[in-house]
Structure 1
């Protein structure tokens, strides 16, 4: 099978590490894979604003034109809220009407891309993107939640399947935290680390996290790491004071480490953590977490709110609590990092569940979906 993985091909954000893992996994299973995609998010870091629409369209059209579709059996399409890859299928639409191009399978990283809806609003092109998504040939969902949410928005006979997101820490990565992260993870003896990493987003509730820490009985250090947490307008709360070092909150401490975490950083963070914490809330575009797989793949228990696909992913490898309830989340974290019976049982379950989140397992599931799409495509063309 010859597959083109079309998606962001740069060093920022959560999608590129995932695509690295997917590509390696598919190749492990004997698939010939090429990569193609954007070299950056369409955001001007100097001017602190998104690109104008015309620049995005020009870039997307160029990507569409650069791809020789005849060279592939299938296109694996990837974009989240901001990637310009969401526009590429629109420039293939006319061609796909007239000739038997390879089927395009969209990995559903977002339920509703926000780029042309919120950041650079354009009703026409936002509708074009939505319509293009509905007319693709197959879908990889990262959980039942996304599949359920999109039911009715696409034809019932279009193939699709579930493949939970894998860890994006490559096999063999040596833990190596940069100085600021290493300092945050260096706790006194007996003080566990609870962590959350990733960029600040509307569905991540930093205020809830602080409220949880205020209510915990077991002393712990919460490490919040990733892009934009030092920007109040993105984080939703001013966490600037916590960037300078750990500050006491309740019986524990909170520290913020801004900046992107590479694989070695993520490996160090996860392996130093007694638990991962995901204080999320519902959002129209949010279909599920990718970062959570790094914890689950390394048998680190997780406490998360009951949002999107989090309960499905965590299973018995942690605890799920209602959204917006700091008391219950604090109690759940206390039980997991407190070295009691619950902690032992959850750790055992997390260890048994870890294999479900490897890159090889994910790639095998995706490959089965791709084959199903190809079989359906052949039947349509007969």
Structure 2
């Protein structure tokens, strides 16, 4: 094995040349303490997993980005054998970069004109001839090790954006997952809506039932509102995760956040809907009787009067909440419509990715 190093700028930049061992081993050693890792390479190993596994392990504590070309992939194919070989290579690379559980921390990119090699963390950087593959250690490779953190940051701020802007982000199987999660959330939102509707409305008519608001005895429960609010938080969390995953604010703009916020306001404590849902008839009637300081012989009459006033109070609360409850349903419909837009956008991105990467 051969490894030689000499300083260009002592303590800042070294030249390293090696054969029989990794030319960027010092950067690999820093993976365990890094907050950020970036790799760009022409190819990755066909069969060996050690370097990719080191990235996947680091992704538990660091933001990781890897950019690779796909050997044997061309813009145009002249012959079935060439096309088949390219298809196999594309399949191999996408599968290799799919097999991790840290998709939101590690980002895989393809760049079909890339031949540069960079391996760096936020602490130390390598720029040279060695690919991010175990096989590269068999060759004579030469590069620069940058140890000065300020110089490393200059590389991060200036070189990496150029490479990433020219690259295609690979999102693995996340499209399928998100297109399952979002309809499930939409279905749960529909169930929560029906639950509130059943507690607030009634149906009349012998043959053709007509839905009318239940002014006289609504059964709206506070638990139903809490289920709805918790579900809306899940929706916001999922959209946030989608934005983080695809590194964009576009999906947050597609979801009707104003409708979500309006529902939260309508269901807030001491608002009309919350007062109706929290109204306890027994407690209200008991408080009235206690307030009247009724003697035993007057209890039956007082109980009837308390019952009548409780009924009137509930009707009053129901009338005050009617428009707000209708507004909830209108806003839920807006959210459901925006879900459909998000799912269509995910489908478009999935189609765009597939045609951009696999052109065979």
Q: For the pair shown, which has the larger CA radius of gyration, 1 or 2?
A: 2
TM-score, normalised to structure 2, is: 0.28
TM-score, normalised to structure 1, is: 0.27
**Larger proportion of helix:** 2
